[in-house]
Structure 1
Amino acid sequence: MRKKIVLAVISSLFMGLYSQAQVVIKPAIGINATDFSKDPGTGEFKGRVGYQIGGSVAIGKKVYFEPGIFYVKKTTEFVDENTSGLEDQDFNISGIRVPLTVGFNLLGNAGSPVSLRGFGGVSAFFLADIKDLDKDDFNTASWGTYLGLGVDFSILFVEASYEWSLTNVQKNIETIDIGKSRSLFAHAGVRIPIGTK
């Protein structure tokens, strides 16, 4: 009898959550800028414009969970300003970024013509390629955390977030220690509701 009551309560909770669930698919495309945390001493890192394309799935209403997957290309330039003998170098890094977001609707809701969201989360970046440098010198996976804001305009949305990596980009440090990455992401896309209760 006790087991039946517990199962009934759990079932009611899940049904309640499901009845409040809203599922929205969000394909998106955008740009990013990345620099590194270490001061190379003889020059500086300058973020250049990169891009990302992918999408996410938002689950929930006022509070929502949003896993995503994006192909990302990040570009950073090292400029040797003191002619120390180190050559200027471009870090053209590409890979798969998997953000896991928790967000909160600050103003408006799913039915509003315009709404504002705040969000944050953790991400994993899996290195696919790094142009003109030895891929073996870099970590194949790195982890980050981020905060951002999003605005929904009916079926359209725009988002911007700032990410701090929690792990070093390199595993073998020789001439230039670049440390951790810091990235600004901005993207826009379409909101496609597939389940509204």
Structure 2
Amino acid sequence: MEYSNKYPKKNTRTQNLTIMKKLKFIFSGLFLLLAFQSQAQVHLIPAAGVTIAKPNDDAFNAKAGYKFGASVRIGDKWFIQPGLFYTKYSSEVDLNDLQATQSTSNISFDQTGWEVPVMVGYQFINSDMFKFRAYAGPQVGFGYKTDGNNFADVFDTQSTQWAVKAGLGVDVLFFTLDADYGWGLTDNFKLDQAFSNSSFQNRSFNITLGVRI
């Protein structure tokens, strides 16, 4: 089976180094913010939810996946919230749209891996019964693997990926509900595979329900 290579190769190693340098400054700023919290509150938040994601190309269609894990919210009005989640992304792709010479089309594949978001946020409403907040920050994912039946080798996912996320959340009593959107910054697939390009970054919409301990 042969696939045409309609996108030029790009030096993703250089791109990743540049992104890592920028995120180093972001992480430094987040921890400086934490230093200003004189009496920081700390809450553990186990959570699970649904993610709807796909690479940013019209040949891909989003399908529902899942995520589960936990985060730690540190702070009060201003807060920082690092976390660790196991995530499964599901997508469907039309190979004909990618100019494949194979008649097969509309195949599904899954991507699973660990993700570490580090969000910084502000609580606009911060009462004991109800909280409303907004947040944003970087995320690094690692250990990604692809399951695409006979096409897993074609959609060989980058094992490490960087992203940024932004979202809104509410707490009702000790329950938490969050909705956020993620923009991938690095290639979704490996350069030595059929899609040797830098234009397939993941886009995801996530909804999680958790318990604030």
146, 151, 156: which one aligns with 1:137: 156
Contact between 2:53 and 2:90, CA under 8 Å: does it hold in 1? yes
For the residue of structure 2 that corresponds to 1:103, the secondary structure is: strand
Q: Matched residues in 2 for 1:74 and 1:136: separation?
A: 13
**Contact map agreement 1:93 1:127 (CA 8 A) in 2:** no
Say if 2:131 is the partner of 1:115.
Answer: yes
Name the aligned partner's letter for residue 114 of structure 2. Answer: I
Judged with a 3 Å threshold, the aligned counterparts in structure 2 of structure 1 residues 179 and 34 are, in CA distance, closer, same or farther, namely same
- Whether the 8 Å CA contact 2:131–2:171 is kept in 1: the answer is yes
- Counterparts of 1:29-48 in structure 2, within 5 Å, are 29-39=48-58, 44-48=59-63
Q: TM-score if structure 2 supplies the norm length?
A: 0.73
- C-alpha contact (below 8 Å) 1:76/1:91 kept by paired residues: yes
- What are the Cα deviations for residues 69-114 of structure 1, in whole angstroms up to 9, with x where unaligned? 000001011135779725322120000011011010012x1x4311
The answer for unaligned runs of 5 or more in structure 2 is 1-34
Q: Distance in 2 between matches of 1:188 and 1:137?
A: 31
Q: Which protein is richer in strand relative to its size?
A: 1
- Please, what TM-score do these two structures have when normalized by structure 1? 0.79
Judged with a 3 Å threshold, the aligned counterparts in structure 2 of structure 1 residues 124 and 70 are, in CA distance, closer, same or farther, namely same
One-letter identity of the residue aligned with 2:185: L
Q: Which amino acid aligns with 1:155?
A: F
Instruction: Select which of 194, 200, 207 maps to 1:174.
Output: 194
Trace 1:15-164 onto structure 2 (pairs within 5 A): 17=36, 19-39=38-58, 44-79=59-94, 85-107=103-125, 109=126, 111-132=127-148, 133-134=152-153, 137-164=156-183
Structure 1 unaligned blocks of 5 or more:
1-15, 193-197
Contact preservation (8 Å) 1:66, 1:100: yes
SS in 2 for 1:137: coil
Aligned residues: 171
8 Å contact kept, 1:129–1:135 = no
Q: Per the alignment, in what secondary structure is the counterpart of residue 94 of structure 2?
A: strand
1:184–1:19: structure 2 CA closer, same or farther, 3 Å change rule? same
Q: Looking at CA atoms only, which structure, 1 or 2, has the larger radius of gyration?
A: 1
**Are residues 45 and 176 of structure 1, via their aligned partners in 2, closer, same or farther at CA, if it must alter by over 3 Å?**
farther
Say which is worse superposed, 176-185 or 123-132, in terms of deviation.
176-185
Q: Is this contact kept in 1: 2:145–2:159, CA < 8 A?
A: no
Moved more, 78-87 or 176-185: 78-87
Tell me what 1:6 maps to.
none
Match of 1:188 in 2: 209
Flag as ranges the 4+ runs of structure 1 deviating above 4 A: 16-19, 80-84, 175-178
Q: Could you tell me how far apart the structure 2 residues matched to 1:180 and 1:128 are?
A: 14
Q: Deviations over 1:144-195 (max 9, x none)?
A: 0011000010100100000000001112341696711000011001001xxx
Deviations 1:17-71 (Å, cap 9, x if unpaired)?
56421000000010000011123xxxx3111110001010000001001110000
